[in-house]
Chains A and B, each alone.
Chain A
Amino acid sequence: MIAVLLRMAEKTHIALPSAQQIDFAALLFRVARERDRAAFAEIFDHFAPRVKSFMMRKGASAELAEDLVQETMIAVWSKAALYVPERGAASTWVFTIARNLRIDRLRRESAAHFTDLEDFDAPSDDVPGDEAMNRSQEDSHVARALAQIPPEQRELLILSYVDDVPQSMIAERLNLPLGTVKSRMRLAYRRLRKLLEAVN
Protein backbone atom coordinates (compact mmCIF):
# COMPACT_ATOMS: atom_id res chain seq x y z
CA MET A 1 0.00 0.00 0.00
CA ILE A 2 2.78 2.39 0.92
CA ALA A 3 4.52 1.68 -2.37
CA VAL A 4 1.32 2.55 -4.24
CA LEU A 5 1.00 5.80 -2.35
CA LEU A 6 4.62 6.66 -3.02
CA ARG A 7 4.09 6.02 -6.71
CA MET A 8 1.06 8.29 -6.59
CA ALA A 9 3.17 10.98 -4.96
CA GLU A 10 5.89 10.53 -7.59
CA LYS A 11 3.40 10.86 -10.40
CA THR A 12 2.72 14.35 -9.18
CA HIS A 13 6.34 15.29 -9.58
CA ILE A 14 7.16 18.71 -8.28
CA ALA A 15 8.91 20.72 -10.95
CA LEU A 16 10.65 24.04 -10.64
CA PRO A 17 8.60 27.02 -11.78
CA SER A 18 8.70 27.15 -15.55
CA ALA A 19 10.79 29.82 -17.21
CA GLN A 20 8.06 31.24 -19.40
CA GLN A 21 5.30 32.31 -17.08
CA ILE A 22 1.95 33.43 -18.41
CA ASP A 23 0.62 36.39 -16.45
CA PHE A 24 -2.69 34.87 -15.39
CA ALA A 25 -3.45 37.74 -13.04
CA ALA A 26 -3.42 40.10 -16.05
CA LEU A 27 -5.62 37.70 -18.05
CA LEU A 28 -8.13 37.48 -15.20
CA PHE A 29 -8.15 41.26 -15.03
CA ARG A 30 -9.04 41.39 -18.74
CA VAL A 31 -11.82 38.85 -18.19
CA ALA A 32 -13.18 40.89 -15.28
CA ARG A 33 -12.91 44.28 -16.97
CA GLU A 34 -13.57 43.59 -20.63
CA ARG A 35 -15.19 40.15 -20.60
CA ASP A 36 -12.29 39.22 -22.87
CA ARG A 37 -12.93 35.78 -24.40
CA ALA A 38 -9.44 35.36 -25.82
CA ALA A 39 -7.98 35.95 -22.35
CA PHE A 40 -10.45 33.43 -20.95
CA ALA A 41 -9.52 30.84 -23.59
CA GLU A 42 -5.87 31.17 -22.58
CA ILE A 43 -6.78 30.60 -18.92
CA PHE A 44 -8.94 27.64 -19.97
CA ASP A 45 -6.18 25.99 -21.98
CA HIS A 46 -3.79 26.16 -19.07
CA PHE A 47 -6.03 25.22 -16.16
CA ALA A 48 -8.78 23.00 -17.61
CA PRO A 49 -6.53 19.95 -18.21
CA ARG A 50 -5.11 20.28 -14.70
CA VAL A 51 -8.54 20.63 -13.12
CA LYS A 52 -9.61 17.52 -15.07
CA SER A 53 -6.76 15.54 -13.52
CA PHE A 54 -7.61 17.00 -10.13
CA MET A 55 -11.20 15.75 -10.38
CA MET A 56 -10.20 12.34 -11.75
CA ARG A 57 -7.75 11.82 -8.90
CA LYS A 58 -10.74 12.00 -6.56
CA GLY A 59 -12.40 9.25 -8.59
CA ALA A 60 -14.52 11.20 -11.07
CA SER A 61 -15.03 9.53 -14.47
CA ALA A 62 -13.63 11.41 -17.49
CA GLU A 63 -17.16 12.57 -18.34
CA LEU A 64 -17.96 13.83 -14.82
CA ALA A 65 -14.51 15.39 -14.58
CA GLU A 66 -15.25 17.37 -17.76
CA ASP A 67 -18.58 18.52 -16.31
CA LEU A 68 -16.71 19.78 -13.27
CA VAL A 69 -14.02 21.39 -15.46
CA GLN A 70 -16.76 23.27 -17.27
CA GLU A 71 -18.34 24.37 -13.98
CA THR A 72 -14.97 25.44 -12.58
CA MET A 73 -14.07 27.45 -15.66
CA ILE A 74 -17.47 29.13 -15.87
CA ALA A 75 -17.04 30.13 -12.21
CA VAL A 76 -13.66 31.60 -13.16
CA TRP A 77 -15.43 33.65 -15.84
CA SER A 78 -18.25 34.76 -13.52
CA LYS A 79 -16.11 35.52 -10.49
CA ALA A 80 -13.09 37.05 -12.21
CA ALA A 81 -13.80 40.44 -10.62
CA LEU A 82 -13.48 38.87 -7.17
CA TYR A 83 -9.89 37.79 -7.76
CA VAL A 84 -7.48 39.97 -5.76
CA PRO A 85 -3.87 39.51 -7.02
CA GLU A 86 -2.41 40.84 -3.75
CA ARG A 87 -3.89 37.89 -1.90
CA GLY A 88 -2.29 35.18 -3.99
CA ALA A 89 -1.50 33.73 -7.39
CA ALA A 90 -4.21 33.02 -9.98
CA SER A 91 -3.47 29.29 -9.62
CA THR A 92 -4.31 29.55 -5.89
CA TRP A 93 -7.63 31.14 -6.73
CA VAL A 94 -8.48 28.52 -9.38
CA PHE A 95 -7.47 25.82 -6.90
CA THR A 96 -9.97 27.14 -4.33
CA ILE A 97 -12.79 27.14 -6.90
CA ALA A 98 -11.98 23.57 -8.02
CA ARG A 99 -11.59 22.43 -4.41
CA ASN A 100 -14.99 23.83 -3.44
CA LEU A 101 -16.71 22.23 -6.42
CA ARG A 102 -15.08 18.92 -5.63
CA ILE A 103 -16.41 19.08 -2.06
CA ASP A 104 -19.90 20.06 -3.24
CA ARG A 105 -20.21 17.67 -6.14
CA LEU A 106 -17.94 14.70 -5.50
CA ARG A 107 -18.13 14.53 -1.73
CA ARG A 108 -21.67 15.88 -1.49
CA GLU A 109 -20.86 18.13 1.41
CA SER A 110 -21.23 21.87 1.43
CA ALA A 111 -18.28 24.18 0.76
CA ALA A 112 -20.40 27.30 1.36
CA HIS A 113 -18.28 28.21 4.41
CA PHE A 114 -15.38 28.96 2.06
CA THR A 115 -17.57 31.28 0.01
CA ASP A 116 -18.72 33.04 3.17
CA LEU A 117 -15.14 34.20 3.66
CA GLU A 118 -14.42 35.06 0.04
CA ASP A 119 -14.52 38.82 0.32
CA PHE A 120 -13.96 38.93 4.01
CA ASP A 121 -11.28 41.58 3.92
CA ALA A 122 -13.07 43.72 1.37
CA PRO A 123 -13.93 46.79 3.52
CA SER A 124 -10.59 47.08 5.30
CA ASP A 125 -8.02 44.95 3.58
CA ASP A 126 -5.71 43.59 6.25
CA VAL A 127 -2.87 43.07 3.79
CA PRO A 128 -0.41 45.94 4.20
CA GLY A 129 1.60 46.98 1.13
CA ASP A 130 4.85 45.19 1.92
CA GLU A 131 3.18 41.99 2.87
CA ALA A 132 1.11 42.07 -0.30
CA MET A 133 4.26 42.39 -2.38
CA ASN A 134 5.85 39.48 -0.59
CA ARG A 135 2.77 37.36 -1.00
CA SER A 136 2.76 37.31 -4.77
CA GLN A 137 6.52 36.73 -4.82
CA GLU A 138 6.00 34.01 -2.28
CA ASP A 139 3.67 32.00 -4.50
CA SER A 140 6.30 31.55 -7.20
CA HIS A 141 8.65 30.13 -4.59
CA VAL A 142 6.23 27.56 -3.22
CA ALA A 143 7.01 24.98 -5.91
CA ARG A 144 10.73 25.34 -5.31
CA ALA A 145 10.20 24.95 -1.56
CA LEU A 146 7.99 21.90 -2.10
CA ALA A 147 10.82 20.19 -3.94
CA GLN A 148 13.04 20.66 -0.91
CA ILE A 149 10.95 19.03 1.80
CA PRO A 150 11.40 15.34 2.71
CA PRO A 151 9.44 12.93 0.45
CA GLU A 152 7.30 11.53 3.28
CA GLN A 153 6.09 15.03 4.13
CA ARG A 154 5.48 15.89 0.48
CA GLU A 155 3.55 12.65 0.08
CA LEU A 156 1.15 13.69 2.84
CA LEU A 157 0.59 17.03 1.15
CA ILE A 158 -0.16 15.38 -2.21
CA LEU A 159 -2.56 12.93 -0.55
CA SER A 160 -4.36 15.85 1.08
CA TYR A 161 -4.39 18.41 -1.69
CA VAL A 162 -4.67 16.21 -4.76
CA ASP A 163 -6.27 12.99 -3.62
CA ASP A 164 -8.60 14.54 -1.03
CA VAL A 165 -7.74 11.98 1.63
CA PRO A 166 -8.58 13.13 5.19
CA GLN A 167 -5.83 12.88 7.78
CA SER A 168 -7.58 10.07 9.66
CA MET A 169 -7.71 8.01 6.43
CA ILE A 170 -4.08 8.75 5.66
CA ALA A 171 -3.26 7.43 9.13
CA GLU A 172 -5.25 4.27 8.41
CA ARG A 173 -3.73 3.74 4.97
CA LEU A 174 -0.17 4.28 6.10
CA ASN A 175 -0.80 2.39 9.32
CA LEU A 176 0.37 5.31 11.42
CA PRO A 177 -1.22 6.90 14.49
CA LEU A 178 -3.25 10.01 13.62
CA GLY A 179 -0.92 12.00 15.88
CA THR A 180 2.06 11.03 13.72
CA VAL A 181 0.29 12.09 10.53
CA LYS A 182 -0.59 15.40 12.14
CA SER A 183 2.94 16.05 13.33
CA ARG A 184 4.28 15.27 9.84
CA MET A 185 1.75 17.72 8.44
CA ARG A 186 2.89 20.38 10.88
CA LEU A 187 6.53 19.68 10.05
CA ALA A 188 5.85 19.96 6.33
CA TYR A 189 3.97 23.22 6.80
CA ARG A 190 6.62 24.75 9.08
CA ARG A 191 9.42 23.61 6.81
CA LEU A 192 7.71 25.23 3.84
CA ARG A 193 7.12 28.44 5.73
CA LYS A 194 10.75 28.58 6.80
CA LEU A 195 11.94 27.98 3.24
CA LEU A 196 9.63 30.72 2.03
CA GLU A 197 10.74 33.16 4.70
CA ALA A 198 14.37 32.48 3.79
CA VAL A 199 13.63 33.46 0.18
CA ASN A 200 11.77 36.65 1.06
Chain B
Amino acid sequence: MTIVHHLDEATLLSYAAGTLGEALSVAAACHISMCSQCRSAVRQAEALGGEILDDLESTAVSNARRAATLASLDDAPAVRLVFVKSDMPAPLQRLLQGQGFGQLRWRKKAPGVSVYELPLSKGAKGSLKLLSIASGMTMLEHGHGGEELTLVLQGAFKDKTGRFARGDIADLDEETEHCPVIEKGETCICLYATEAPSHYKTLLGRLLQPFLKI
Protein backbone atom coordinates (compact mmCIF):
# COMPACT_ATOMS: atom_id res chain seq x y z
CA MET B 1 0.00 0.00 0.00
CA THR B 2 1.51 3.30 -1.07
CA ILE B 3 0.10 6.24 0.79
CA VAL B 4 0.29 9.53 -1.07
CA HIS B 5 -1.79 11.90 1.03
CA HIS B 6 -0.62 12.40 4.60
CA LEU B 7 -1.60 14.40 7.66
CA ASP B 8 -0.76 18.09 7.61
CA GLU B 9 2.18 18.86 9.92
CA ALA B 10 -0.01 21.22 11.96
CA THR B 11 -2.46 18.34 12.52
CA LEU B 12 0.38 15.95 13.43
CA LEU B 13 1.61 18.40 16.04
CA SER B 14 -1.78 18.91 17.64
CA TYR B 15 -2.39 15.15 17.61
CA ALA B 16 0.90 14.52 19.43
CA ALA B 17 0.33 17.43 21.82
CA GLY B 18 -3.10 15.99 22.61
CA THR B 19 -5.06 19.13 21.67
CA LEU B 20 -6.81 17.59 18.69
CA GLY B 21 -10.39 16.65 19.59
CA GLU B 22 -11.50 13.04 19.85
CA ALA B 23 -13.24 12.73 16.44
CA LEU B 24 -10.29 14.14 14.50
CA SER B 25 -7.84 12.19 16.68
CA VAL B 26 -9.47 8.87 15.90
CA ALA B 27 -9.30 9.59 12.15
CA ALA B 28 -5.67 10.70 12.52
CA ALA B 29 -4.84 7.59 14.59
CA CYS B 30 -6.37 5.33 11.93
CA HIS B 31 -4.19 6.93 9.25
CA ILE B 32 -1.15 6.72 11.52
CA SER B 33 -1.79 3.01 12.05
CA MET B 34 -1.57 2.56 8.27
CA CYS B 35 1.29 4.97 7.55
CA SER B 36 4.83 4.40 8.84
CA GLN B 37 5.91 7.84 7.66
CA CYS B 38 3.33 9.65 9.80
CA ARG B 39 3.97 7.20 12.66
CA SER B 40 7.59 8.23 12.72
CA ALA B 41 6.63 11.92 12.44
CA VAL B 42 4.27 11.56 15.42
CA ARG B 43 7.05 10.00 17.48
CA GLN B 44 9.22 13.01 16.74
CA ALA B 45 6.41 15.34 17.71
CA GLU B 46 5.89 13.35 20.92
CA ALA B 47 9.61 13.60 21.65
CA LEU B 48 9.07 17.34 21.62
CA GLY B 49 6.39 16.83 24.27
CA GLY B 50 8.81 14.74 26.32
CA GLU B 51 11.42 17.46 26.29
CA ILE B 52 8.89 20.14 27.12
CA LEU B 53 7.58 18.06 30.03
CA ASP B 54 11.11 17.39 31.24
CA ASP B 55 11.75 21.10 31.21
CA LEU B 56 8.54 22.12 32.96
CA GLU B 57 8.75 23.81 36.36
CA SER B 58 8.46 21.41 39.31
CA THR B 59 5.51 21.58 41.71
CA ALA B 60 6.26 19.69 44.92
CA VAL B 61 4.22 16.54 45.41
CA SER B 62 3.22 15.91 49.03
CA ASN B 63 5.04 13.21 50.98
CA ALA B 64 1.71 11.61 51.77
CA ARG B 65 0.96 11.25 48.07
CA ARG B 66 4.40 9.85 47.34
CA ALA B 67 3.99 7.28 50.12
CA ALA B 68 0.46 6.40 48.95
CA THR B 69 1.70 5.85 45.39
CA LEU B 70 4.55 3.62 46.49
CA ALA B 71 2.21 1.68 48.79
CA SER B 72 -0.27 0.99 45.99
CA LEU B 73 2.24 -0.53 43.56
CA ASP B 74 1.49 -4.08 44.66
CA ASP B 75 -2.13 -3.67 43.58
CA ALA B 76 -1.09 -2.56 40.09
CA PRO B 77 -0.44 -5.58 37.90
CA ALA B 78 1.92 -5.38 34.92
CA VAL B 79 0.12 -4.50 31.69
CA ARG B 80 0.95 -6.36 28.52
CA LEU B 81 -0.67 -5.67 25.19
CA VAL B 82 -1.81 -8.28 22.73
CA PHE B 83 -1.27 -7.36 19.13
CA VAL B 84 -4.13 -8.33 16.85
CA LYS B 85 -3.43 -8.07 13.16
CA SER B 86 -6.37 -6.83 11.11
CA ASP B 87 -7.17 -4.99 7.88
CA MET B 88 -9.26 -2.62 9.93
CA PRO B 89 -7.24 0.19 11.55
CA ALA B 90 -6.95 -0.63 15.28
CA PRO B 91 -8.84 2.41 16.67
CA LEU B 92 -11.72 1.77 14.26
CA GLN B 93 -11.72 -1.93 15.02
CA ARG B 94 -12.24 -1.11 18.70
CA LEU B 95 -15.09 1.31 17.97
CA LEU B 96 -16.80 -1.24 15.70
CA GLN B 97 -16.19 -3.96 18.29
CA GLY B 98 -14.79 -6.24 15.64
CA GLN B 99 -17.65 -5.91 13.15
CA GLY B 100 -16.85 -5.68 9.43
CA PHE B 101 -18.34 -3.05 7.09
CA GLY B 102 -20.88 -5.59 5.85
CA GLN B 103 -22.26 -6.21 9.32
CA LEU B 104 -23.03 -2.58 10.13
CA ARG B 105 -26.46 -1.01 10.14
CA TRP B 106 -25.88 1.70 7.57
CA ARG B 107 -28.37 4.54 7.30
CA LYS B 108 -29.23 5.46 3.74
CA LYS B 109 -29.08 9.25 3.45
CA ALA B 110 -29.46 9.66 -0.29
CA PRO B 111 -29.25 7.45 -3.38
CA GLY B 112 -25.79 5.88 -3.28
CA VAL B 113 -24.87 7.50 0.05
CA SER B 114 -25.00 5.66 3.39
CA VAL B 115 -23.74 6.77 6.76
CA TYR B 116 -22.78 4.90 9.93
CA GLU B 117 -22.39 7.01 13.04
CA LEU B 118 -19.52 6.04 15.38
CA PRO B 119 -19.73 6.58 19.15
CA LEU B 120 -17.71 9.32 20.83
CA SER B 121 -17.27 10.22 24.50
CA LYS B 122 -19.77 12.54 26.13
CA GLY B 123 -17.23 15.34 26.32
CA ALA B 124 -16.33 15.15 22.64
CA LYS B 125 -17.37 17.74 20.09
CA GLY B 126 -18.22 17.15 16.46
CA SER B 127 -18.87 13.77 14.93
CA LEU B 128 -17.24 10.70 13.51
CA LYS B 129 -18.87 8.61 10.81
CA LEU B 130 -18.27 6.08 8.14
CA LEU B 131 -19.46 7.18 4.71
CA SER B 132 -20.24 4.72 1.99
CA ILE B 133 -20.50 6.30 -1.45
CA ALA B 134 -21.37 4.36 -4.60
CA SER B 135 -18.80 4.21 -7.37
CA GLY B 136 -19.05 6.76 -10.15
CA MET B 137 -20.68 9.45 -8.01
CA THR B 138 -19.49 13.03 -8.24
CA MET B 139 -19.72 15.31 -5.24
CA LEU B 140 -20.60 18.97 -5.48
CA GLU B 141 -17.74 21.40 -5.29
CA HIS B 142 -17.07 22.13 -1.63
CA GLY B 143 -14.56 23.80 0.65
CA HIS B 144 -13.32 22.73 4.06
CA GLY B 145 -13.53 24.45 7.40
CA GLY B 146 -10.03 23.28 8.25
CA GLU B 147 -11.49 21.09 10.99
CA GLU B 148 -12.28 17.92 9.13
CA LEU B 149 -10.44 14.78 8.09
CA THR B 150 -11.44 12.14 5.54
CA LEU B 151 -9.61 8.82 5.50
CA VAL B 152 -10.18 6.35 2.66
CA LEU B 153 -10.68 2.77 3.88
CA GLN B 154 -11.94 1.15 0.69
CA GLY B 155 -12.25 2.18 -2.96
CA ALA B 156 -10.90 5.51 -4.16
CA PHE B 157 -11.81 9.01 -5.24
CA LYS B 158 -10.08 11.59 -7.37
CA ASP B 159 -10.02 15.33 -7.29
CA LYS B 160 -7.74 18.09 -8.59
CA THR B 161 -5.20 17.36 -5.84
CA GLY B 162 -4.84 13.73 -6.89
CA ARG B 163 -6.14 10.25 -6.23
CA PHE B 164 -7.14 9.16 -2.74
CA ALA B 165 -7.09 5.41 -2.12
CA ARG B 166 -6.96 3.18 0.97
CA GLY B 167 -4.83 4.81 3.67
CA ASP B 168 -4.84 8.28 2.10
CA ILE B 169 -6.18 11.08 4.26
CA ALA B 170 -7.61 14.38 3.09
CA ASP B 171 -6.45 17.04 5.55
CA LEU B 172 -7.33 20.07 3.50
CA ASP B 173 -6.98 23.70 4.43
CA GLU B 174 -9.75 26.26 4.21
CA GLU B 175 -8.68 27.50 0.82
CA THR B 176 -8.99 24.20 -1.01
CA GLU B 177 -12.21 23.76 -2.95
CA HIS B 178 -12.69 20.54 -4.80
CA CYS B 179 -15.28 18.20 -6.29
CA PRO B 180 -14.18 14.62 -5.74
CA VAL B 181 -15.29 11.87 -8.09
CA ILE B 182 -15.66 8.34 -6.73
CA GLU B 183 -13.78 5.92 -8.96
CA LYS B 184 -15.67 3.31 -10.91
CA GLY B 185 -15.50 -0.20 -9.54
CA GLU B 186 -15.69 -0.44 -5.77
CA THR B 187 -17.93 1.41 -3.36
CA CYS B 188 -15.84 4.01 -1.54
CA ILE B 189 -15.84 3.79 2.26
CA CYS B 190 -14.33 6.69 4.17
CA LEU B 191 -13.92 7.55 7.82
CA TYR B 192 -15.04 11.12 8.17
CA ALA B 193 -14.38 13.30 11.21
CA THR B 194 -15.43 16.87 11.81
CA GLU B 195 -15.42 19.22 14.74
CA ALA B 196 -17.59 21.79 13.06
CA PRO B 197 -20.81 22.32 15.04
CA SER B 198 -23.02 22.31 11.97
CA HIS B 199 -22.58 20.31 8.82
CA TYR B 200 -23.24 23.20 6.56
CA LYS B 201 -20.27 23.83 4.25
CA THR B 202 -18.53 20.62 5.36
CA LEU B 203 -17.95 17.71 3.04
CA LEU B 204 -20.91 15.73 4.33
CA GLY B 205 -23.17 18.76 4.27
CA ARG B 206 -22.34 19.44 0.66
CA LEU B 207 -22.59 15.80 -0.17
CA LEU B 208 -26.15 15.62 1.08
CA GLN B 209 -27.17 19.13 0.18
CA PRO B 210 -28.65 18.42 -3.26
CA PHE B 211 -30.74 15.64 -1.76
CA LEU B 212 -31.67 17.02 1.62
CA LYS B 213 -31.88 20.68 0.68
CA ILE B 214 -29.94 21.76 3.75
Contact B80 A82 (CB under 8 A): yes
Contact A53 B50 (CB under 8 A): no
Contact of A89 among B33, B50, B55 (CB under 8 A): B50
Contact of B32 among A32, A117, A160 (CB under 8 A): A117
Contact A158 B52 (CB under 8 A): yes
Contact of B79 among A37, A82, A122, A168 (CB under 8 A): A82
Residues of B within 8 A of A14 (CB): 52, 55
**In the bound complex, what is the Cα–Cα distance between A73 and B61 (angstroms)?**
12
Q: How large is the interface on A (under 10, 10 to 19, 20 to 34, 35 or more residues)?
A: 35 or more
**In the bound complex, what is the Cα–Cα distance between A185 and B65 (angstroms)?**
37
Contact of B17 among A74, A75, A160 (CB under 8 A): A160
Residues of B within 8 A of A41 (CB): 70
**In the bound complex, what is the Cα–Cα distance between A78 and B184 (angstroms)?**
50
Determine how close the nearest CB of chain B comes to the CB of A84; give it in whole angstroms. Answer: 10
> B62 within 8 Å of A by Cβ?
yes
A77-100, CB < 8 A from B:
77-82, 87-96, 98-100
> A59 within 8 Å of B by Cβ?
no
Q: How large is the interface on B (under 10, 10 to 19, 20 to 34, 35 or more residues)?
A: 35 or more
Contact A69 B12 (CB under 8 A): no
B 74-86 to A, binary, CB cutoff 8 A, 1 in contact else 0? 0011111101010
Closest to B75 in A: A74
Contact A185 B13 (CB under 8 A): yes
Q: Which of A74, A87, A93, A114 has the most CB of B within 10 A?
A: A114
Residues of B within 8 A of A96 (CB): 46, 49
**In the bound complex, what is the Cα–Cα distance between A92 and B79 (angstroms)?**
19
Q: Which of A87, A98, A113, A114 has the most CB of B within 10 A?
A: A113
**In the bound complex, what is the Cα–Cα distance between A82 and B82 (angstroms)?**
11
B 184-204 to A, binary, CB cutoff 8 A, 1 in contact else 0? 000000000000000000000
Closest to A118 in B: B81
**In the bound complex, what is the Cα–Cα distance between A35 and B122 (angstroms)?**
37
**In the bound complex, what is the Cα–Cα distance between A190 and B66 (angstroms)?**
40
Residues of A within 8 A of B57 (CB): 11-12, 50, 53
Residues of B within 8 A of A57 (CB): 56
**In the bound complex, what is the Cα–Cα distance between A192 and B47 (angstroms)?**
11
Contact B79 A78 (CB under 8 A): yes
**In the bound complex, what is the Cα–Cα distance between A90 and B51 (angstroms)?**
10
A 182-194 to B, binary, CB cutoff 8 A, 1 in contact else 0? 1101101110110
Closest to A181 in B: B10
8 closest A-B pairs by CB: A92-B50, A108-B123, A49-B58, A91-B50, A113-B29, A182-B10, A160-B17, A116-B90
- Other A-B pairs beyond A50-B54, A77-B73, 7, CB < 8 Å: A88-B43, A108-B123, A119-B81, A160-B14, A161-B53, A179-B175, A185-B13
Query: Which A residues have a C-beta under 8 Å from some C-beta of B?
Result: 11-15, 32, 35, 37, 40-41, 44-45, 47-54, 56-57, 62, 65-66, 69-70, 73-75, 77-82, 87-96, 98-100, 102-103, 107-114, 116-123, 126, 135, 138-139, 142-143, 146, 157-158, 160-162, 164-168, 178-179, 181-183, 185-186, 188-190, 192-193, 196
A-B contact pairs, 5 of them (CB 8 A): A11-B57, A14-B52, A93-B50, A96-B49, A166-B20
